[in-house]
Structure 1
C-alpha cells in the first residue's frame, strides 16, 4: 500500500508540473496586433520592439496588421480576444480620439487594459517647398485674411494629423478647410505636390522629405524643440500658447489578462527600450522613449482623452 501511495503521489506531482497553468510564460507565440497598415510609424516601432521582446521573453512575438477605420478594426479584435496573455494591441493616438468620433462596438476604458506607453513623437507643420509661407505667423495671417480658404490635408477624420490641425485652428482662432485622404501617405504626397496648403505629420513619416527640401517645416508640435530639427520653432513659441500634440504609441491587453503576465511584458518592454540599438533607432526617428508603468499610462490616456474630447466638441464633430 505504501508503495502504491508513493507511486500515486509521484504521478500527481508530475501532472501538476506538466499542467499548462504552471507552464513557463510564454509557451506559445504572442500576437502583437497593429491596427494600421505595414510601413507606418506605429508598425515600424512595433516590429522593432517585438523582435527584441521575443528574445527577452525567450519566445515568439508575431506582428499582425489589422488595419482599417483609423485603428478601430484592430483594436476591436483585441478587445474581443481572450485575456490569456497571448494577444496584445500596439496602438497610437487614434485610440484616445476614436471614442468621440465613432460609435464603437467595445469600450476602450473597460475592454483594453494599458500595459505601457512606449513613446511620444511630435509632428511637423509642413508646407510645399514653393509655398509663400515661411513661418507659422504667415499661415495665421493669411488664414485670418481668407477664412476657410487655406487647406490642410490629413489621412482622414479622426487621424492625429486631422486633430492636430483642428487643435491648431482653434488655438490660433482661424478657420481652415480640411481635405481628407485615404491615408497619411497620399496626404503627404498631395502636400509635396501643392494640392493642399499644409499638413501635420509625424517626424518618421516626414523627416526625409523635409531634409531633401521637398517640404518646408514651419513649426513642431512638441513643447520643446526637437534635436533633429533644432531650427524649427514650436507652435507654442510661434504664438499659439499652450499648443502641444503628439503621436503616442502604447501597448494594451484584453481585459482579464493576468496582472503577472502584464507586469512581465511591461518589464520586458522597458528592458528592450533601454537597449542601445533600440534607443539609437528611436532617436533617429525623433521619437522620445517613455516606457511607463500601467498606472502612469492610464493617467496620460485620461489627459489625452479629455484634450481631444474638447477639440471634437468645439469643432462640433458628430460621432458617425
Structure 2
C-alpha cells in the first residue's frame, strides 16, 4: 500500500516498523504523537486481546480515530500429518477421553489464536494443553517436526504446508468455508454455531486529528485497496480486502475488543497463564 498512498497523497509515506510486545510498542508510540495527520498506525487483531491482557498506556478506542479496515482472514487449526485425528470430531472425542494430554501450539500467550482456541474448548467442553511460542515461525518449525501435534494460526504461514499435505486442516475460524483453505469446514459448520475469529488489519489516526484530514486519508486508503494489484497481493497472503469507512472500522474493532475481552476474563487468561 505504501507506494500507492504516496502517489495519491503527493507526499512520502514512511514506514516505521516498531515491533515487539504484540504490536503494543508501536501503538504506544503512535498514541503519544500529535493529532496532526503526520502519524498513522496500522494495527492487527493483536489489539483485540492486548486491550485486556496487557497493562497499556493507551486505550485503543479512546487513543485512536479509526480510518478504515484493510483486510480480514481466517485462522486455521491444523494437525501434523502423523496425528491420528482426521477430523475435528475425532480430536474432540480424543480430548474428552484424555483431557489436557493433547498439545496445541500458538504464536504466543494471549494471542487471538490462544484466546479463540480457549473459547472453542469452552464451547465444546474439551481440554487441550496450550504451548505458547514467541511468534508463529518457531511454532511452525516444531509443529512441522512433529514435536507439537496441533497448531492454531493464520493461514499465511500454513497454506503451503496444507497444500503439501504436511499439515491437515481440522477447521477454520470464518463463518463458512474459505477459498484460502479449500475443502476445510469452518467451526461454525461443525457444531459451533456463530463461532468466528477473524484475523484483521486496520488503519488508524490519532484521536483528535481534524476530520478533514482523517477523511482524506480514508479516501486514499479506499482508493488503494480498490487497485487490482494491491488486492491481489493481499489475497495472496491469505486475506480478503475489507475496506469500509471509519464508522464501520470503529464498530468492528469495538466489537472484537469486547468479545475477546469477555473470553479472556471468563477464563482468567493472563500473559503468564
TM-score range relative to shorter protein: over 0.9
Partner residue of 1:133 out of 75, 79, 85: 85
Partner residue of 1:219 out of 163, 171, 177: 171
Over residues 135-175 of structure 1, what are the superposed CA-to-partner deviations in whole Å (9 max), with x where a residue is unaligned? 11111111111111111111111212212211211121111
Identify which range, 260-269 or 167-176, moves more after superposition. Answer: 167-176
CA, structure 1 residues 217+319, in 2 after alignment: closer, same or farther (shift >3 Å)? closer
Partner residue of 1:78 out of 26, 30, 51: 30
Partner residue of 1:248 out of 179, 195, 200: 200
Partner of 1:164: 116
Over residues 251-297 of structure 1, what are the superposed CA-to-partner deviations in whole Å (9 max), with x where a residue is unaligned? 11112222111111111110111111112222323312111111111
Partner of 1:270: 222
Provide the alpha-carbon RMSD of the alignment: 1.4
Partner of 1:155: 107
| Structure 2 Cα separation of the partners of residues 63 and 172 of structure 1 | 42
TM-score (norm 2): 0.95
Is the Cα contact below 8 Å between 1:137 and 1:239 reproduced in 2?
A: no
| Structure 2 Cα separation of the partners of residues 179 and 256 of structure 1 | 41
Larger radius of gyration: 1
Deviation at 1:229, TM superposition (A): 2.6
What does residue range 90-109 of structure 1 map to in structure 2 within 5 Å?
90-109=42-61
Partner of 1:199: 151
SS in 2 for 1:125: strand
Partner of 1:66: 18
Unaligned runs of 5+ in 2: none
Aligned residues: 272
Is the Cα contact below 8 Å between 1:123 and 1:245 reproduced in 2?
A: yes
Over residues 86-122 of structure 1, what are the superposed CA-to-partner deviations in whole Å (9 max), with x where a residue is unaligned? 1111010111211210111122221112111111111
SS in 1 for 2:76: strand
| Structure 1 Cα separation of the partners of residues 29 and 184 of structure 2 | 40
TM-score (norm 1): 0.82
| Structure 1 Cα separation of the partners of residues 271 and 247 of structure 2 | 29
Q: Tell me which stretches of 4 or more aligned residues in structure 1 moved more than 4 Å.
A: none
Partner residue of 2:209 out of 232, 244, 257: 257
Is the Cα contact below 8 Å between 1:117 and 1:297 reproduced in 2?
A: yes
Partner of 1:300: 252
Partner residue of 1:180 out of 132, 135, 142: 132
| Structure 2 Cα separation of the partners of residues 315 and 210 of structure 1 | 31
Is the Cα contact below 8 Å between 2:110 and 2:270 reproduced in 1?
A: no
Deviation at 1:228, TM superposition (A): 3.1
Partner of 2:190: 238
